[in-house]
Chains A and B, each alone.
Chain A
Amino acid sequence: MWRRSASFILDKHQNNKPISLTPSIGSPPPLSASVADENLNPNHISAYYQTRAAHHEIVTSDWLEQAQAAVRRYLDQDSPVSGRPFSVIEEFDNWRQQPALAEAVAAIRALAAVIRASEANTMMELEIELKKASDTLKAWDTTSISLTAGCDLFMRYVTRTSALESEDFNSAKSRVLGRAEKFGEISNKIIATLSQDFIFDGCTILVHGFSRVVFEILKTAAQNKKLFRVLCTEGRPDKTGVLLAKELAKLDVPVKLLIDSAVAYCMDEVDMVFVGADGVVESGGVINMMGTYQIAIVAHSMNKPVYVAAESYKFARLYPLDQKDLEPALQPIDFGVSVPPKVEVERSARDYTPQFLTLLFTDLGVLTPSVVSDELIQLYL
């Protein structure tokens, strides 16, 4: 997962606890400024996106510890779970800290911790506890689609299998636990393997946003000695492009950075577009970092394929009708200069791409967008 140290501090802000950001490192100042703005809309600030933004800041380990300590203190006071000493949110946050973990996986690990700590004696009780924990997690951050989808998926798995089994409670519990631990373990590898065929020698790939899955794909391709070059969009305000460019340069992949507005300019030399997804919705569209829809439109108008790399636990039961039909997920936007007075800022962190997607690379295989609904129907039937 992203190095999400600052997120805890930001979360505190959401609950109107003014906290002076003591760390003097580069990251906080812009954040604090924007956080102040955010206080206007505490409910809409997306912890998810804020943490992602925070990743691109440089944090020292000291600062990290301080932030974690602060957050733990805060969370302990504000334990959302029903009075138990064990806090699923805390667990979740612990897991989230790990850079390599996806949000949904972190959530499921947290739920696994719930199972381990649970004192239930029957599957029904366990299910109820899990349901409560999952609802808590979902309520904690309503803007994170993969969190919701991951929780739903796991609950679905538990419900479905518990009904069928005739085994005793303990083996059922360990089975569910095992599934939770293994959740999402190798999906990235599978996706990377599937997508290798689509990257040919000499191709130019446009990437938007820093998706772990896409990075894994490119890394695997580089390791397979494929010759390709990557165009990275800058990805303001997160500056994901810079980060990705850095990582790719380490792999000796030729990288070129573009500003977001230069996508149409460069589109003719691009062979394919790769994006990740925050969530894949029932209509076959994706919800991803702001700017994805724009790129998809340009790519489509120039007949370039747009490939989305997403794990299957990101399939969500949402069906947005338009851009504004999602939960608003705002993020701080830093223009480099202070925003003039009486000027509003569009701060949504994500957009919805309903069409123009060519294929989805998932751990279930390479799918067309209309298969998403098929999978969801089968899953949630």
Chain B
Amino acid sequence: MESRRNPRAVVDPKVRQVGFFTSSQPDSTHQPDPIASESHPVVSSISPSGNSLSPVMIPPPRHNSSDTFPLRAAAASAVSPSSFSYSTRRDFPDGSTTAASPGRVSRGSFSKPSSSLPGVGMDAMAAAKSSSVPASGLNTVSVVNMPPEKESDQKKNSKPLKEKTTKAERRALQEAQRAAKAAANAEGGKAPLVSSGSVASTNIKATKPAKPSSQKNDVAVAAGPSEKKAGGQSEKDRKKDAPHPRMQYDDESRVVKAKRRAVVKQTEAKYRVELFRHLPQYEHGTQLPDLQTKFFQLDPMHPAVYKVGLQYLSGDISGGNARCIAMLQAFQEVVRDYSTPPEKTLNRDMTAKISSYVSFLIECRPLSVSMGNAIRFVKNRIAKLPITLSESEAKAALQSDIERFINEKIITADTVIVKHAVTKIRDGDVLLTYGSPTAVEMVLLHAHELGKKFRVLVVDSRPKLEGQLLLRRLIKRGINCTYTHINAISYIMHEVTKVFLGASSVLSNGTVYSRVGTACVAMVASAFRVPVLVCCEAYKLHERVQLDSICSNELGDPNAISKVHGREDINYLDGLTNNANLQFLNLMFDATPSDYISMIITDYGMVPPTSVPVIVREYQKEHSLV
């Protein structure tokens, strides 16, 4: 861990702002005017553990957070306590629109009553309300800077209204940041004031004069994870947030541009585990209402894509296949409604459009591997369209290509997988499955139809409890089921004869990348010498190699862990996401090494994990020819 910090420390924040650093380092010297006054006093009292609040948002000292709680509690709709803060924020002018943090969504659209973009808005609000911006409370640390400005904008503006930065403003911003940095250094390791570096300071500057959103975007974005780290690390760390693996954060202008383009403003979580700082962590569920209101104002965004994005955001659609199919169907509609603008070629323009939609979807939720492969396919098809086709022909061809992809690679692939997998189910088997993989569900249902006698053990885990869905569907068909949680896995494994797992993706070294908890199940099964069969369609295989679950993953909503629904008696952690001493880690995926996997069932047949690169190779050959 230590070593990871060092590189970050040396990177010049101006040159490289990656990830979700909070540009808006709480900078006592650069408070936006509206907020500044209020936040100033607060800022100065920021505890060293301080965090990546934007300069605009002075993270209130820890003790202040308690003050904000009642306020927050009052905030009705907002999921996070910060909601109320938003309302105050709205006072702040100028639309900081979508200054997403590098590549990510800008913090939040603060919708009025309920937008519960915690971080940013909150902080500002808090400051505004003289409730200390709870350092911990608002996860949207980075956003802070922007919030005031953003709010108003966000409400009204959808993406198109980006910052109108002028050179002078940018200059001012930079100077502010530099000064902030100096000041911060002077403070010596206090809350990360300047850490976010340029962005932060610029933000501050920007906010002060209620500048256009661009600056805010920077600031907000910079907020980044809360660092309750001691010393100046937090500042630097914030800046160093690694970009999402699929997002290039090298080019600062791209980062800024992405932020500007971002539709969904997500608020970043404040307190994040050090090891996973390179992954974005947002407060979930906060943008939804605001985004819903913006549905009719989306200029560049196609409503179908917007809808799918919202569904991802809210968790309505989850699971590799479902997300991929939903996205592809949205793209089909895009193609249908598409008309080539004058003086543009269909290929390029459509590709650009698809790319922009994809970045919107990434803002809502990071892409799964299946979606990534499908997008590559679509772009490939668009690029291969012969120039000679008329627009309607091209559109029809594209639509049918997408339809064919869905049918061949997903639906038919599933039937082939089922056909192979049922040969492995014998009478008297006890099959264990984890979570709710679509492929495995189909296998079990089909085996039951064939009359095989077996029983199923469904293993489930918090916080998603996806196994319950599967359980319900299996029981409806009359399959004999047992249900347990993952903590009992070693207890029940002795009676299991086979384990069927699903996968989000299988990587080239045979590693299975799947829902968190899968690795646990596979390892326990392997220890008990129970064969582990992974069912995965071929389009989900990827040529990437991953050795651990850390370098590439997805962080879910920390509130989901802290809250235990329906069990007030053990709901101790509820509301503690804002605590500086407590970092929640809600991983969504994990990587299972190939040694624990007995076989992978794909539509290419049953293969050992060592054969995944072969299938990737054949698959790509097939597609480059097609």
- Residues B605 and A380 in contact, CB atoms below 8 Å apart: yes
Segment 579-612 of B: residues with Cβ below 8 Å from A = 598-599, 604-608, 610-611
Q: Which residue of A lies closest to B532 (CB)?
A: A321
Q: Which residue of B lies closest to A284 (CB)?
A: B608
Bitwise interface map of A from 271 to 287 toward B, beta carbon under 8 Å scored 1, else 0: 00000000000111000
Q: Which residue of A lies closest to B622 (CB)?
A: A381
State the main secondary structure of chain B at its contact with A. mixed
Q: Indicate whether B531 reaches chain A with its CB closer than 8 angstroms.
A: yes
- Residues B604 and A370 in contact, CB atoms below 8 Å apart: no
Distance in angstroms from B597 CB to nearest chain A CB is 11
Q: Indicate whether B349 reaches chain A with its CB closer than 8 angstroms.
A: no
Distance in angstroms from A345 CB to nearest chain B CB is 23
Asked, given contacts A283-B599, A321-B531, A321-B599, whether A381 binds B611 with beta carbons under 8 Å apart, the answer is no
- Residues of chain B within 8 A of A282, CB atoms compared: 605-608
Q: Indicate whether B551 reaches chain A with its CB closer than 8 angstroms.
A: no
Cα-based distance from A325 to B604 in the complex (angstroms): 21
- Residues B611 and A373 in contact, CB atoms below 8 Å apart: yes
Q: Indicate whether A377 reaches chain B with its CB closer than 8 angstroms.
A: yes
- Residues of chain B within 8 A of A374, CB atoms compared: 611, 614
- Residues B604 and A377 in contact, CB atoms below 8 Å apart: yes
Segment 341-381 of A: residues with Cβ below 8 Å from B = 370, 373-374, 376-378, 380-381
Q: Indicate whether A319 reaches chain B with its CB closer than 8 angstroms.
A: yes
Cα-based distance from A319 to B420 in the complex (angstroms): 10
Q: Indicate whether B618 reaches chain A with its CB closer than 8 angstroms.
A: yes
- Residues of chain A within 8 A of B599, CB atoms compared: 283, 319, 321
State the main secondary structure of chain A at its contact with B. loop
Distance in angstroms from B624 CB to nearest chain A CB is 15
Asked, given contacts A321-B424, A321-B599, whether A378 binds B498 with beta carbons under 8 Å apart, the answer is no
Cα-based distance from A321 to B615 in the complex (angstroms): 21
Contact of A321 among B498, B605, B610, B614 (CB under 8 A): B498
- Residues B615 and A377 in contact, CB atoms below 8 Å apart: yes
Q: How many chain A residues have a CB neighbour from B under 8 Å?
A: 16
Contact of B608 among A322, A325, A370, A381 (CB under 8 A): A370
Cα-based distance from A380 to B531 in the complex (angstroms): 25
- Residues A283 and B605 in contact, CB atoms below 8 Å apart: no
Q: Indicate whether A317 reaches chain B with its CB closer than 8 angstroms.
A: yes
Distance in angstroms from B423 CB to nearest chain A CB is 9
Asked, given contacts A283-B599, A322-B531, whether A377 binds B608 with beta carbons under 8 Å apart, the answer is no
- Residues A377 and B498 in contact, CB atoms below 8 Å apart: no
- Residues of chain A within 8 A of B608, CB atoms compared: 282-284, 319, 370, 373
Segment 82-116 of A: residues with Cβ below 8 Å from B = none
- Residues B598 and A321 in contact, CB atoms below 8 Å apart: yes
Distance in angstroms from B282 CB to nearest chain A CB is 41
Segment 246-302 of A: residues with Cβ below 8 Å from B = 282-284
Distance in angstroms from A326 CB to nearest chain B CB is 12
- Residues of chain B within 8 A of A377, CB atoms compared: 604-605, 607, 611, 614-615, 618
Cα-based distance from A163 to B498 in the complex (angstroms): 40
- Residues of chain B within 8 A of A376, CB atoms compared: 605
- Residues of chain A within 8 A of B605, CB atoms compared: 282, 317, 376-377, 380
Q: Which residue of B lies closest to A325 (CB)?
A: B424
Asked, given contacts A282-B605, A282-B606, A319-B599, whether A373 binds B614 with beta carbons under 8 Å apart, the answer is yes
Cα-based distance from A7 to B548 in the complex (angstroms): 56
Distance in angstroms from A282 CB to nearest chain B CB is 6
- Residues of chain B within 8 A of A321, CB atoms compared: 424, 498, 531, 533, 598-599
Segment 118-163 of B: residues with Cβ below 8 Å from A = none
Q: Which residue of A lies closest to B599 (CB)?
A: A319
- Contacts A/B (CB < 8 Å), 21 sampled: A282-B605, A282-B606, A283-B599, A283-B608, A284-B610, A317-B605, A319-B608, A321-B424, A321-B498, A321-B531, A322-B531, A370-B608, A373-B610, A373-B611, A373-B614, A376-B605, A377-B607, A377-B611, A377-B615, A378-B614, A380-B605
Chain B residues within CB distance 8 Å of chain A: 424, 498, 531, 533, 598-599, 604-608, 610-611, 614-615, 618
